Structure 1
Amino acid sequence: MSKTEKGSADPDDESWKERGLKLRAFVYIFGTHIIAGFVMLLFYLGQHADK
């Protein structure tokens, strides 16, 4: 029985590695933008705070 006949994907298959890399890159980029946006919000709020 060949790999394609099993019905389950091999974890060493390149398509799984590529999908994992794309997902990880998306999560890292999205997370970085969320953190940067939060820091920018803190600076904005700090500038406009009543002192």
Structure 2
Amino acid sequence: MSESNEEKSFPRGLVIRLFAYLVAGHVFAGFLYLLFTVGAK
């Protein structure tokens, strides 16, 4: 049972890395949006 359970779930490092990229991408996008919004005024 433990073998099939490990196959279904993602490796822990991959999930953490994916989550980190997701957060970093949103922060970067928000920074760019803020930059353009302030620059437009």
TM-score, length-normalised on structure 1?
0.65
Deviation at 1:41, TM superposition (A): 0.3
Deviation at 1:9, TM superposition (A): 3.7
Q: Which structure carries more relative contact order (alpha carbon 8 Å, separation 6+)?
A: 1
**Identity percentage over the alignment?**
13
The alignment's C-alpha RMSD in Å is 1.4
Aligned to 1:48: none
Deviation at 1:17, TM superposition (A): 0.3
- SS state of the match for residue 9, structure 2? coil
Q: Which runs of 5+ in 2 are unaligned?
A: none
Rounded to whole Å, the distance in 1 between the matches of 2:35 and 2:15 is 30
Pairs aligned (count): 38
Question: If you compute each CA radius of gyration, which structure gives the higher value, 1 or 2?
Answer: 1
Aligned to 1:32: 31
Q: Which runs of 5+ in 1 are unaligned?
A: 43-51
